[in-house]
Chain A
């Protein structure tokens, strides 16, 4: 049974870099056809796609975040990672990792708070 688990600091300082890792178990990240993505949800707000990566390293980013985001994959560890630079309070959110398409298979999510 596929499981995804986010890990990383729950508190990041203003203007610094948010770094999260998603560990995939119960299946290989190198399976063709699937993408591995990051989605976030600010408190009380809707879902926002951040970006996705294919096992080969091909990436797709939300244009509104593209200038600050890097997603990478480590197939040897069955993990993929998110880096979001120059964070502000607006980046405070629950961050989910997920597999797709077509539907998203979600991790449990992790709350990241940006402090001033």
Chain B
């Protein structure tokens, strides 16, 4: 079973840069696109990155995504942190059977 592993939580100060990792359990994470979702309490998840590194319109360029094949991981980087970025972040991809796979989620605290 293909799984995605994220850190449970990360914290950083306003104005700083934070990176959230998403590591694939097997195969190549580069085989299928990775998406990142932001979920604030009580809200529906929204896409901040799709197709590894693409930003939907309306998402600030402080958000960026990347793939590192050497570590079989994807990363979401948020620069110039704002208190409004405090949320849960989920990575998502697909396995070889077209099944949707989610990471366990990372709680970002901006303090």
- A residues contacting B by CB (< 8 A) are 35, 37, 39, 46-49, 52, 60, 62-63, 96, 100-104, 106-109
User: Could you say which of A46, A62, A96, A106 contacts B99, with CB atoms under 8 Å apart?
Assistant: A62
> Interface size on B (CB < 8 Å)?
23
Residues in B neighbouring A37, C-beta threshold 8 A? 100
B51 with A106: CB separation less than 8 A: no
Residues in A neighbouring B92, C-beta threshold 8 A? 47, 103-104
A-B contacts counted at CB < 8 A amount to 53
A108 with B102: CB separation less than 8 A: no
* Cα separation A52 to B101 with both chains bound (whole Å): 12
Residues in A neighbouring B1, C-beta threshold 8 A? 63
Question: B52: nearest residue on chain A (CB-CB)?
Answer: A102
B8 CB, min distance to chain A CBs, angstroms: 10
Q: A47-B105, A63-B1, A102-B50 are in contact. Are A39 and B100 (CB under 8 A)?
A: yes
A-B contacts besides A52-B100, A103-B51, A104-B45, 14 pairs, CB < 8 Å = A35-B98, A39-B102, A46-B90, A47-B90, A47-B92, A49-B100, A49-B102, A60-B98, A102-B50, A103-B35, A103-B50, A103-B56, A104-B35, A106-B44
* Cα separation A63 to B101 with both chains bound (whole Å): 12
User: Could you say which of B44, B90, B97, B102 contacts A60, with CB atoms under 8 Å apart?
Assistant: B97
